[in-house]
């Protein structure tokens, strides 16, 4: 019996050594330099938390005017953070703001700045063709080790990855608005995303102070896959005349403990955004009843009643 076990022990030791070597060869990337494409609320928020956690960040958008607005918004947001975080230490708060802003620069030339970045996070308009074109262009200039990630909330990460030659170094990083306040990040792994890339994205999410959850590349990932059909079912309930929108909102706030009712949330998110998401999912899975479009939602969007941002959606706002 002893003779029989010895070859096994040697084989196991050999396998362990090989596994250790493979692990060392596939050492995950520690992200230090970050490029964020898109200076809107999401992009600026991502840039802020990355810079605040010690990363070197370049925020990119199409014009200096947009970037000045983004930088001003980040500075104001940081000051709000310091009032809570450094309430009794104003000098430490001022130092925190100064240090964070030193970590942040801006550019209107994405191609020029990606040559030295570890991670590119895209947070531009929710349009498949525009995103594909961006990633295709940047793929030619970014270093081989650079990871690409999209902050999309509704598009398939796999389709975006296919516009590049680095499908194994491509994943989803879905932050939530407002980014400095919301603790969640959905880390999306496509069938082609390497384990090394996935772990690097998880580690980056933790490094910027977020709580990452992982999900496969399914429509809406976790939160929106549950949230959007919930909001659409509320609209259908109202369309059928089963209950008023006011009572549906009150019911979900008092009965389920939600901070906002579904119609309040739809107006907050933007009816055009919700329509874009559900239309995209319906095109992918036309037989899924959860993804059926809503005639009422379609009509409100056609009338440009998009919610809070236009002053009227399901409710009117002053």
User: Does residue 134 register a pLDDT over 80?
Assistant: yes
Q: Which of 154, 163, 224, 274 is catalytic?
A: 224
User: Does residue 84 register a pLDDT over 90?
Assistant: no
127 is catalytic: no
Residue-by-residue DSSP string for 237-258: HHHTTSS-HHHHHHHHHHHS--
153 is catalytic: yes
The per-residue pLDDT for range 217-240, each reduced to its tens digit, is 999 999 999 999 999 999 999 999
288 is catalytic: no
The per-residue pLDDT for range 244-289, each reduced to its tens digit, is 999 999 999 999 999 999 999 999 989 999 999 999 999 999 999 9
Q: Which of 55, 150, 151, 186 is catalytic?
A: 186
User: Does residue 243 register a pLDDT over 60?
Assistant: yes
Q: Is 127 labelled as part of a ligand binding site?
A: no
Q: Is 199 labelled as part of a ligand binding site?
A: no
Q: Are 174 and 147 in contact (CB under 8 A)?
A: no
Q: What is the largest CA-CA distance in the chain?
A: 85
CA 13 to chain CA mean position, Å: 42
Q: Are 191 and 158 in contact (CB under 8 A)?
A: yes
Report d(CA 234, CA 218) in Å as an integer: 23
Band of residue 16 on the pLDDT scale cut at 50, 70, 90: low
Backbone angles phi, psi at 117, to 5 degrees: -105, 155
- Using a pLDDT cut of 70, give the percent of the chain over it: 92
Report d(CA 70, CA 78) in Å as an integer: 12
Band of residue 83 on the pLDDT scale cut at 50, 70, 90: confident
- Short-list 212, 196, 186, CA closest to 118: 196
Torsion, Cα 139 204 56 53, to 10 degrees, reads: 160
- Short-list 68, 56, 78, CA closest to 108: 68
User: Does residue 5 register a pLDDT over 90?
Assistant: no
Q: What is the pLDDT of residue 70?
A: 97
Q: Pairing between strand 170-175 and 184-189?
A: antiparallel
Q: Is 45 labelled as part of a ligand binding site?
A: no
- Short-list 185, 273, 280, CA closest to 231: 273
Q: Are 275 and 301 in contact (CB under 8 A)?
A: yes
Token pair of 82, please? 């310091």
Q: Which of 19-28, 47-56, 156-165, 273-282 has the lowest mean pLDDT?
A: 19-28
As a whole number, the mean pLDDT across the chain is 92
Q: Which of 153, 154, 163, 194 is catalytic?
A: 153
Q: Is 309 labelled as part of a ligand binding site?
A: yes
Q: Which of 80-89, 176-185, 192-201 has the lowest mean pLDDT?
A: 80-89
97 vs 2, more confident: 97
User: Does residue 64 register a pLDDT over 90?
Assistant: yes
Q: Is 39 labelled as part of a ligand binding site?
A: yes
* Residue pointed to by tokens 């196991």: 12
Q: What is the pLDDT of residue 26?
A: 60
Q: Are 176 and 184 in contact (CB under 8 A)?
A: yes
Domains of the chain: 33-216 (3.40.50.720), 224-310 (1.10.1040.10)
**CB atoms closer than 10 angstroms to residue 161:** 26
Q: Is 311 labelled as part of a ligand binding site?
A: no
Mean pLDDT of the 14-27 span: 50
Q: Is 77 labelled as part of a ligand binding site?
A: yes
91 vs 103, more confident: 103
Burial of 175 (0-12, 13-18, 19+ CB in 10 A): buried
User: Does residue 181 register a pLDDT over 80?
Assistant: yes
Report d(CA 61, CA 56) in Å as an integer: 17
Q: Which of 150, 174, 205, 294 is catalytic?
A: 174
Q: Is 61 labelled as part of a ligand binding site?
A: yes
CA angle 310/315/318 to nearest 5° reads: 55
Q: Which of 13-17, 192-196, 220-224 has the lowest mean pLDDT?
A: 13-17
- Using a pLDDT cut of 90, give the percent of the chain over it: 85
Report d(CA 88, CA 15) in Å as an integer: 56
Q: What is the pLDDT of residue 1?
A: 36
224 is catalytic: yes
């Amino acid at each position: 019996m002893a003779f029989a076990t010895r070859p096994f022990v040697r084989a196991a030791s050999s396998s362990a050594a090989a596994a250790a070597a493979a692990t060392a060869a596939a050492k995950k990337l520690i992200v230090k330099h970050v490029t964020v494409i898109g200076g809107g609320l999401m992009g600026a928020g991502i840039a802020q938390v990355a810079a605040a956690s010690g990363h070197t960040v370049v925020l990119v958008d199409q014009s200096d005017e947009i970037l000045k607005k983004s930088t001003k918004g980040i500075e104001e947001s940081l000051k709000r953070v310091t009032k809570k975080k450094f309430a009794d230490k104003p000098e430490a708060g001022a130092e925190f703001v100064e240090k964070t802003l030193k970590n942040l620069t801006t550019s209107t030339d994405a191609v020029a700045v990606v040559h030295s970045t570890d991670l590119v996070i895209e947070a531009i308009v929710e349009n498949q063709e525009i995103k594909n074109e961006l990633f295709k262009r940047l793929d030619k200039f970014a270093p081989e080790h650079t990871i690409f990630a999209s902050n999309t909330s509704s598009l398939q990460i796999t389709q975006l990855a296919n516009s590049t030659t680095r499908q194994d170094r491509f994943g989803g990083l879905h932050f939530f608005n407002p980014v400095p306040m919301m603790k969640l990040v959905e880390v999306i792994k496509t069938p082609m995303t390497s384990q090394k890339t996935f772990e690097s994205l998880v580690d980056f999410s933790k490094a910027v102070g977020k709580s990452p959850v992982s999900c496969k590349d399914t429509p809406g990932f976790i939160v929106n896959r549950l949230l959007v059909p919930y909001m659409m079912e509320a609209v259908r309930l109202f369309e059928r005349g089963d209950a008023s929108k006011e009572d549906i909102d009150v019911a979900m706030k008092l009965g389920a403990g939600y901070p906002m009712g579904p119609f309040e949330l739809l107006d907050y998110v933007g009816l055009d955004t919700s329509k874009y998401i559900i239309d995209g999912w319906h095109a992918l899975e036309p037989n899924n009843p959860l993804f059926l479009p809503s005639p009422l939602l379609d009509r409100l969007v056609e009338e440009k009643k998009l919610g809070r941002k236009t002053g009227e959606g399901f409710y009117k706002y002053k």
